[in-house]
Amino acid sequence: MNPQVNEDRIVLTVEQQRRRRGRSIAIALSLGLFVVLIYAVTVVKLGPAVMIRPL
């Protein structure tokens, strides 16, 4: 399971790459959910008035 050393950098095993990809996807989904949540809460708290402002 240990990563191989290739000259001056670490080469991840296939399993390590698979798990890193899983973590990356989970972080991306979490950030996406967070953006949607902030958007929804903003609309709920401010309502339609969010678009009405003096120019």
Judged by beta carbon, residue 45 or residue 54, the one nearer another protein is: 45
55's tokens: 């120019």
Closest C-alpha to 12, from 1, 22, 25: 1
HSE-up (13 A, CA, CB side) for residue 35: 6
Among 31, 35, 40, 50, binds another protein (CB under 8 A): 40
Residues 41 and 33 sit within 8 Å (Cβ to Cβ): no
Among 14, 28, 32, 44, binds another protein (CB under 8 A): 44
Residues in the site for another protein, rule: CB under 8 A?
A: 1-3, 5, 8-10, 12, 15-16, 19-20, 22-23, 25-26, 37-38, 40-41, 44-45
